[in-house]
């Protein structure tokens, strides 16, 4: 029985970087097949190529144009078909620009036998990184949405790519910029490999690595949020690590949510509300957008509030002030749960309905 086909998953928000990186890997690793996808209004464009040229190019109609549908209906079946041909020694899956790799990597990791996810790669251009992550551009405005109603910021998609990746490749179409490099260091996973430029690609690392979906998912889990580097200021880039065992006060949080969540920052973490003591609330902001949601029960973790925020502007004092203002005071915290009974915290549109604390 042949060994599983080693696969690297490639993600980026730049179509040129996506194609050039995939091509470089194929050239440096003879016997590599590249499977790439582009989202279309009514489906996906699938292209299969290797160093001999384009082997297939087909537009696949989908009833629902989304990455999960494409994954189920075409990506996995096509990779299985390529593996069964026993023609190639490795494969690159070039995701649609703006796609987040976590769902794809987890689905492929569950495919036994024929495919082995070796690594997940994120590629960024340092000359555009600050505006891509912290600016307000939407994927749809760049023609890169996963669907017609994709309202994600470019920064949200790129931040998730960087935080999940095993390998980060940085290029620079302009002069090297210490600030952009420092920003990348603050955003990427602390245990990810980093290469400067596609010319430094180490193919042995690309296909010899063994992607661990559980470890990568843990990096994305707000229960375990932490700065990639020590919090502080480096080359004009800062990271705040704001922590407290106390919950946010619902009313003060609602009043201060723009002050705490808006601006040219990347913020992620967890919080809790005294009205919902059993719910871990997720905080995820980038590109001028903020998403909050229900992260499920705390499990065996003690409820706490922790936000890790990275930026390059003058927001630090404002953010610290807003964070501490939103927390329950010691007196409010020590008063117990009784006062929160029957209180409408105002967060049902984001966190769902709830039963007030008993």
Q: Per-residue pLDDT for 105 more than 60?
A: yes
Are 113 and 161 in the same domain?
A: yes
Q: Per-residue pLDDT for 329 more than 90?
A: yes
Contact 271, 305 (CB under 8 A): yes
Q: Please check whether residue 357 lies inside any domain of the structure.
A: no
Final residue of a structural domain among 220, 245, 263: 220
Are 228 and 206 in the same domain?
A: no
Q: Please check whether residue 14 lies inside any domain of the structure.
A: yes
Residue 20 sits in a domain whose CATH number is 3.40.50.300
Q: Please check whether residue 106 lies inside any domain of the structure.
A: yes
Cβ neighbours of residue 16 closer than 8 Å, sequence gap 6 or more = none
Final residue of a structural domain among 220, 245, 269: 220
Final residue of a structural domain among 220, 238, 273: 220
Are 167 and 252 in the same domain?
A: no
Higher-confidence residue of 69 and 283: namely: 283
pLDDT tens-digit series, residues 169-213: 998 776 768 899 999 999 998 889 999 887 767 787 899 888 999
Alpha carbon of residue 59 to chain centroid: 27
Contact 248, 328 (CB under 8 A): yes
Are 67 and 190 in the same domain?
A: yes
Determine how many CB atoms are found less than 10 A away from the CB of residue 110: 11
Are 71 and 111 in the same domain?
A: yes
Q: Please check whether residue 63 lies inside any domain of the structure.
A: yes
Are 248 and 178 in the same domain?
A: no
- The pLDDT of residue 325 is 97
Q: Please check whether residue 69 lies inside any domain of the structure.
A: yes
List 281's β-bridge partners, or say none.
271, 294
As a whole number of angstroms, the distance between CA 19 and CA 26 comes to 11
pLDDT tens-digit series, residues 23-66: 999 999 999 999 999 988 878 899 999 999 999 999 988 776 67
pLDDT tens-digit series, residues 115-130: 999 999 999 999 999 9
Using a pLDDT cut of 90, give the percent of the chain over it.
66
Are 30 and 77 in the same domain?
A: yes
Domain span including residue 275 = 224-351
One DSSP character per residue, 113-169 reads: SSEEEEEEEEEEEHHHHHHHHHS--BTGGGT--SSTT---BHHHHHHHHHHH-SEEE
- The pLDDT of residue 276 is 92
Higher-confidence residue of 343 and 94: namely: 94
Q: Please check whether residue 358 lies inside any domain of the structure.
A: no
- The pLDDT of residue 176 is 66
As a whole number of angstroms, the distance between CA 121 and CA 162 comes to 8
- DSSP label of 259: H
Are 278 and 186 in the same domain?
A: no
Are 20 and 137 in the same domain?
A: yes
pLDDT tens-digit series, residues 225-281: 999 877 778 899 999 999 999 999 999 999 999 999 988 999 999 999 999 999 999
Higher-confidence residue of 56 and 3: namely: 56
Are 162 and 138 in the same domain?
A: yes
List the end-to-end C-alpha distance of the chain, in Å, as a whole number. Answer: 59
| 3-state SS assignment for residue 265 | strand
Residue 259 sits in a domain whose CATH number is 3.30.1220.10
Q: What is the mean pLDDT of the chain?
A: 90
Q: Please check whether residue 87 lies inside any domain of the structure.
A: yes
Are 14 and 152 in the same domain?
A: yes
Cβ neighbours of residue 335 closer than 8 Å, sequence gap 6 or more = none
List 36's β-bridge partners, or say none.
47, 94
Q: How confident is the model at residue 358 (pLDDT cuts 50, 70, 90)?
A: very low
Nearest CA to 316 among 250, 248, 259, 258? 259
Nearest CA to 134 among 156, 151, 152? 156
pLDDT tens-digit series, residues 4-18: 999 999 999 999 999
Predicted structure pTM score: 0.93
Are 215 and 257 in the same domain?
A: no
Count of domains observed in the chain: 2
Q: Please check whether residue 356 lies inside any domain of the structure.
A: no
pLDDT tens-digit series, residues 146-161: 777 788 999 999 999 9
């Amino acid at each position: 029985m042949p060994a599983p086909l080693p696969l690297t998953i490639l993600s980026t928000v730049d179509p040129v970087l996506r194609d050039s990186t995939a091509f470089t890997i194929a050239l440096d690793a003879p016997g590599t097949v590249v499977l790439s996808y582009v989202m279309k209004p009514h489906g996906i464009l699938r292209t299969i190529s290797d160093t001999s040229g384009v082997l297939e190019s087909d537009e696949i109609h989908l009833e629902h144009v989304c990455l999960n549908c494409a994954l189920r209906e075409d990506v996995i079946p096509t990779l299985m078909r390529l593996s069964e041909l026993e023609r190639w020694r490795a494969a690159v899956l070039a995701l649609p620009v703006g796609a987040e790799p976590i769902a794809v990597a987890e689905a492929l990791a569950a495919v036994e036998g024929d495919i082995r996810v070796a690594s997940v790669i994120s590629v960024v251009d340092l000359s555009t990184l600050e505006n891509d992550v912290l600016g307000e551009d939407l994927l749809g405005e760049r023609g890169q949405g996963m669907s017609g109603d994709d309202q994600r910021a470019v920064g949200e998609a790129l931040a998730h790519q960087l935080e999940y990746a095993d390998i980060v490749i940085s290029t620079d179409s302009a002069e090297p910029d210490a600030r952009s490099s420092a920003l990348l260091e603050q955003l990427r996973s602390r245990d990810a490999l980093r290469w400067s430029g596609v010319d430094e690609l180490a193919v042995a690392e690309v296909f010899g690595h063994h992607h661990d979906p559980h470890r990568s998912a843990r990096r994305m889990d707000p229960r375990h949020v932490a700065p990639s580097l020590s919090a502080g200021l480096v080359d004009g880039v800062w990271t705040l690590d704001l922590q407290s065992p106390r919950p946010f006060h619902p009313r003060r949080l609602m009043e201060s949510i723009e002050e705490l969540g808006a601006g040219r920052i990347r913020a992620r973490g967890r919080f809790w509300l005294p009205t919902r003591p059993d719910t871990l609330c997720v905080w995820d902001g980038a590109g001028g957008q903020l998403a909050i949601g229900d992260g499920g029960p705390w499990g065996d973790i003690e409820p706490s509030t922790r936000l890790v925020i990275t930026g390059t502007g003058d927001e630090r004092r404002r953010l610290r002030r807003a964070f501490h203002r939103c927390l329950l005071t010691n007196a409010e915290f020590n008063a117990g749960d009784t006062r929160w009974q029957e209180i409408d915290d105002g967060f049902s549109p984001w966190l769902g309905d709830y039963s007030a604390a008993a």
